Amino acid sequence: MLLIPIDLFLPAAMKSLLALLIPGGRAYDITSLTPAITGDIMTRNKLSGLQRELDDLRAAKHNIKGDDLVRLAQKLGRQKIKRGKHPTYESVPFPETRAITIPGHSSIKAYTAISILDDLEGIDIQRWNEILDREERKEDERQRRKALPPATIRANSNS
């Protein structure tokens, strides 16, 4: 389970409201908020698959349909919101990031598609990579601490 602290992503007004809705009020499971992402949890393999899908779309930039971009955005945890002239998608796991507008046309111009793909890669995939890197470092640290005898680990590094 991937738990994200509330303090990292939400403004103060939202924290108090969310604290009432979430048991404990300190963290929430982002996987339960975004079932379209992967159903369970974002893993390195799933993220690599999404990156490959994004690269495939980039290679076919002249034949991209709006539905292809919407599908990728939803897999990365974005949900449609009512804002503006075109359909806009906001990130559920990363609400502090800006929303992305994806035109609802049957065909999208190449430079528009590339711009949307750049946004998805630069915002969502980069954030997921940062979270997965942080989780891997924590797990490596836990494994390292397990492997060392207690006498070799100082509780206070200042001593």
Residues 63 and 23 in one domain: no
Residues 27 and 67 in one domain: no
Token duo for residue 137: 């470092």
| 108 within a domain of the structure (yes/no) | yes
Question: With 90 as the cut, is the pLDDT of residue 146 above it?
Answer: no
Token duo for residue 155: 């509780």
Residue-wise pLDDT for 80-104, tens only, equals: 998 888 899 999 988 999 999 999 8
The arithmetic mean of pLDDT across residues 61-85, rounded, is: 91
Residue 29, φ and ψ in degrees, nearest 5: -90, 110
| 106 within a domain of the structure (yes/no) | yes
pTM given for the model = 0.66
Residues 29 and 41 in one domain: no
Residues 29 and 42 in one domain: no
C-alpha to C-alpha distance for 2 and 44, rounded to whole angstroms? 13
Residues 53 and 130 in one domain: yes
Residues 4 and 80 in one domain: no
Q: What pLDDT, on a 0 to 100 scale, did the predictor assign at position 11?
A: 53
Bridge-based pairing of strands 3-5 and 27-29 is antiparallel
C-alpha 88 chain-centroid distance: 17
Residues 82 and 139 in one domain: yes
Range of the domain at 140: 36-147
Residues 100 and 112 in one domain: yes
- How many structural domains does the chain have? 2
| 158 within a domain of the structure (yes/no) | no
Residues 51 and 129 in one domain: yes
Residue-wise pLDDT for 7-58, tens only, equals: 445 555 455 545 544 444 444 444 444 444 444 578 899 999 999 999 999 9
